[in-house]
């Protein structure tokens, strides 16, 4: 197979094939509701003197449920985080972590660091806390709300993003606030690293729209708060959810202080949400700081461990090492894990592979690493993957076999990776 060149971050002043590609492809609801190189990956020693990994979870996030009362109609449901939390307890991993991190609701001001005031007031308030706000402003904004009657009998902002008037805003704010709290503890060296067991997910939420089960972009809000309150200079966001994080990309598209790298099923724009082309490399000062590993080729064959390992070896880690982040945040969706149905993923990434990818990211930023749950809907698959990642954060080593490490990626993956390099390698000037 062909050797892939290591891509280089593009400065906003450089010329090349990626120039002038600042316009996103239109988002669309399509099929889903929401070459390995020889590059050595140096093991950078952790410099954190603390010994604990952190976990954050809050039962208030369980209350975000469709009013129809039938979870079987909704792939994003409370059982996802409940199952993960129980699994971590059963395996003794909760006891090995510093679990005394209390989840909290993000403030309206924190939410507005990413989202518009209108969006925050529409989806971040409920009948009780609206009593404390400006009634005249609220009345005008709330009159603009539109909801759909779902086939299950419940209510949603679209066909798959349910709304519960009493509980959705609190759960969404709790998810965002919990990720902020964990990220701050890790950035300040009070914790070694951490995993946020949160819902609803966030990476599809853009500044003014909920979609794909998401209301507030928790990882993006945490990144903004790290910038604004702790003066963190450089933040890497890795998004390995099988769906492109269109919201996160939009939020940081022109920001060179945040490097966003997404690995997602793309299929030439025919997989939800339809964004995330490798040609979308950032704009203005942020050109070159948005990297899309956009897998194309459908499920013939599905991407798995060999393909994700090749992406990390040839794209993710070389670019991340050059960027040299101060903190790493991961939108840790597990819908690429083996076991998720084809309409919601269909890939075959193993839990051990997610553990390996986590250990690779631990070599960056002096070990300051925070994983926040995004998607993933098969309960066994997301529990296995979450357990594997938390184990990795704790330093428990469960190696991949030599056979897997040496396996070559499939032809569709090689083509996808070569396309990424085409758009993210600085061209030689004459």
Residues belonging to the active site: 204
Closest CA to 199 of 169, 223, 175: 175
Two tokens, residue 133:
């706000």
Two tokens, residue 41:
């990956």
The dihedrals phi and psi of 279, each to the nearest 5 degrees, come to -75, -15
- Is 220 exposed, middle or buried (CB count within 10 Å of its CB: 0-12, 13-18, 19+)? buried
State how far the alpha carbon of 309 is from the alpha carbons of 181, 295, 313, 357, in Å.
31, 13, 6, 8
Q: Is 33 helix (H, G, I), strand (E, B) or coil?
A: coil
Cα 367 to Cα 362: distance, rounded to the nearest angstrom: 5
Secondary structure (DSSP) of 63-121: G---TT--GGG-SS-THHHHHHHHHHHHTTHHHHSEEEEE--PPPHHHHTTTS-HHHHH
Residue 206: DSSP 8-state? B
Two tokens, residue 138:
């609220």
- Mark residue 282 as left, alpha or beta (left: phi above 0; alpha: psi -120 to 50; beta: remaining): left
Residue 158: DSSP 8-state? S
**Parallel, antiparallel, or unpaired for β 148-149 and 98-102?**
unpaired
Secondary structure (DSSP) of 328-374: EEEEE--TTBTTS-GGG---BB-HHHHHHHHHHHTTSGGG-EEEEE-
Is the bond into 374 cis (omega within 30 degrees of 0)? no
Two tokens, residue 32:
């889903």
């Amino acid at each position: 197979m062909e050797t892939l060149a290591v891509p280089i971050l593009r400065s906003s002043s450089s010329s090349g094939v990626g120039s002038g590609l600042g316009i996103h492809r239109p988002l669309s609801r399509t099929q889903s509701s929401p070459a390995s190189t020889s590059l050595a990956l140096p093991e950078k020693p952790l410099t954190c003197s603390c010994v604990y990994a952190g976990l954050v979870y809050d039962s208030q996030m369980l209350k975000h449920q469709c009013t129809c009362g039938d979870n079987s109609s909704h792939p994003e449901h409370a059982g996802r985080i409940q199952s993960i939390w129980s699994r971590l307890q059963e395996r003794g991993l909760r006891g090995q972590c510093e679990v005394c991190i209390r989840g909290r609701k993000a403030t309206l001001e924190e939410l507005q660091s990413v989202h518009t005031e209108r969006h925050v007031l529409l989806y971040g308030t409920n009948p009780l806390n609206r009593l404390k706000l400006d009634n005249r402003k609220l009345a005008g904004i709330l009159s603009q709300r539109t909801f759909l009657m779902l086939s299950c009998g419940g209510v949603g902002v679209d066909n798959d993003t349910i709304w519960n008037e009493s509980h959705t805003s609190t759960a969404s704010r709790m998810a965002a606030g919990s990720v902020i709290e964990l990220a701050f503890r890790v950035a300040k060296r009070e914790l070694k690293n951490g995993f946020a067991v949160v819902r609803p997910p966030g990476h599809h939420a853009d500044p003014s729209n909920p979609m794909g089960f998401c209301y507030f972009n928790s990882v993006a809000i945490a990144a903004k708060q790290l910038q604004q309150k702790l003066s963190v200079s450089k933040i890497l966001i890795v998004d390995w959810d099988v769906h492109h994080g269109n919201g996160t990309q939009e939020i940081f598209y022109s920001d060179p202080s945040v490097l966003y790298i997404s690995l997602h099923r793309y299929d030439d724009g025919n997989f939800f949400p339809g964004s995330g082309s490798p040609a979308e490399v950032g704009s203005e000062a942020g050109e070159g700081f948005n990297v899309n590993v956009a897998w194309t080729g459908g499920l013939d064959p599905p991407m798995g461990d060999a393909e994700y390992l090749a992406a990390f070896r040839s794209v993710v880690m070389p670019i991340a090492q050059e960027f040299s982040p101060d903190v790493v945040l991961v939108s840790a969706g597990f819908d690429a894990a083996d076991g998720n149905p084809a309409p919601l993923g269909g890939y075959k990434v193993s839990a051990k592979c997610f553990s390996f990818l986590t250990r690779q990211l631990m070599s960056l930023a002096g070990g300051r690493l925070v994983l926040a749950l995004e998607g993933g809907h098969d309960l066994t698959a997301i529990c296995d993957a979450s357990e594997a990642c938390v184990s990795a954060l704790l330093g428990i080593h469960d190696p991949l076999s030599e056979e897997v490490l040496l396996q070559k990626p499939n032809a569709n993956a090689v083509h996808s990776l070569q396309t990424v390099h085409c758009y993210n390698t600085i061209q030689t000037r004459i």
